[in-house]
Amino acid sequence: MVKAIRFHEFGGPEVLKYEDVEVGDPGPGEVRLRHTAIGFNFLDALVREGRYPVLPDLPAVPGAEAAGIIEAVGDGVDGFNVGQRVAYAANFSGAYSEARLLKASDAVALPDTISDEDAAASFLKGMTVEYLINRCYPVNVGEVALIHAAAGGVGLFMCQWLKHLGVTVIGTTTSEEKKELILANGAAYAVNSRTENIADVAREATGGEGVHVVYDSVGPDVWQASIDSLRPRGYYVNFGNASGPLAPIDSVELQMHGSLFFTKASMRYYHLTRGDLDNAAAALFEVMARGAVKTVIGQRYALADAAQAQIDVMERRTTGSTVLTL
């Protein structure tokens, strides 16, 4: 038996229980993984609430990413061995546990240059940034990008990586204090969306032309500011909905704002093959190993305190990445 956070119904943070669970032996194609660090993502709370497009069967263990050491290997598994360090970002459930069974096809070997905690704090977030800026809208040197929720785990990663690629970054947040954090992690401009006009800053920063791309994990609260900030034929990339689901898109509105492009992006459609996963992980580990992108861990919570971690993140009390410790 191992300890895990589990919920038996969808609802508020109070449904999360710290319980004993049975893990068992790995089946064909699986490994048994003892976690050493667990990453927190905003989608964990959405899954717990029952508001995420992909929901697990109940009872369920939340959590989509972690790092750990392989304790046992099932039949038919090649390329992984007992004692090997790995990380994963998969299934949108199962990570909030001391140990778990995992499909070997979801695991990625960790290089010596990446610590377990950095991997747990950054793997899903970093892989998200990789596909967004390299393959969803491939950025070019000299372009300008607007990033919403830039002080969060994904946002800070994106600010750093885009600056490394020669892109000018405008980051938004909802507090004056977090603006300094955004600027310290690669953004050229930081905007407090509660007191400043995002589109005005975007237009001023681009000589009135507007930004090339918007990366949005917020949703309805920033929709209007985003399309007002884009230049003609600009790209609006929505990959999250912290403020709720977007209303149906009016194609005429996109046309009238400059023949804009819009996509609702999801990482699972950019990791359709094992090659996609390995290539994305290699790109992430390379920029991390060179120090071009650094993990910003803003806070740590014991696994037993996962409910409080979710409360703090949902209430915007946190910055950077959140890690659950064991």
Amino acid identity of residue 111, one-letter, is P
> Identity (one letter) of the amino acid at 312?
D
Say what the pLDDT of residue 314 is: 84
Tokens of 179: 């603006």
- pLDDT single digits (tens) 279-306: 999 999 999 999 999 988 889 999 999 9
Position 276: which residue type?
Answer: D
Distance of alpha carbon 238 from the chain centroid: 13
Per residue in 89-145, pLDDT tens? Answer: 977 889 999 999 999 999 999 999 999 999 999 999 999 999 999 999 999 999 999
Output the pLDDT for position 103: 95
Give the global pTM.
0.89
**Contacts by residues 11-14 (CB-CB < 8 Å, ≥ 24 positions apart):** 11/48, 11/49, 11/50, 12/49, 13/45, 13/48, 13/307, 13/308, 13/310, 13/311, 14/307
Helices (H), 72-215: 116-131, 153-164, 176-184, 198-205
Domains of the chain (ranges plus CATH)? 2-123+271-325 (3.90.180.10), 141-264 (3.40.50.720)
Q: Does residue 12 have a pLDDT over 90?
A: yes
Computed over every residue of the chain, the mean pLDDT equals 94
Residue with tokens 């990339």: 237
| Confidence at residue 153, expressed as pLDDT on a 0 to 100 scale | 85
> Stretch 66-89: mean pLDDT, rounded?
95
Contact indicator for 37, 63 with CB cutoff of 8 Å: no
Query: pLDDT by residue (tens digit) across 193-204?
Result: 999 999 999 999
Query: First and final CA of the chain: distance in angstroms?
Result: 15
* pLDDT tier at 321, thresholds 50, 70, 90: confident
Residue-level pLDDT at 25? 95
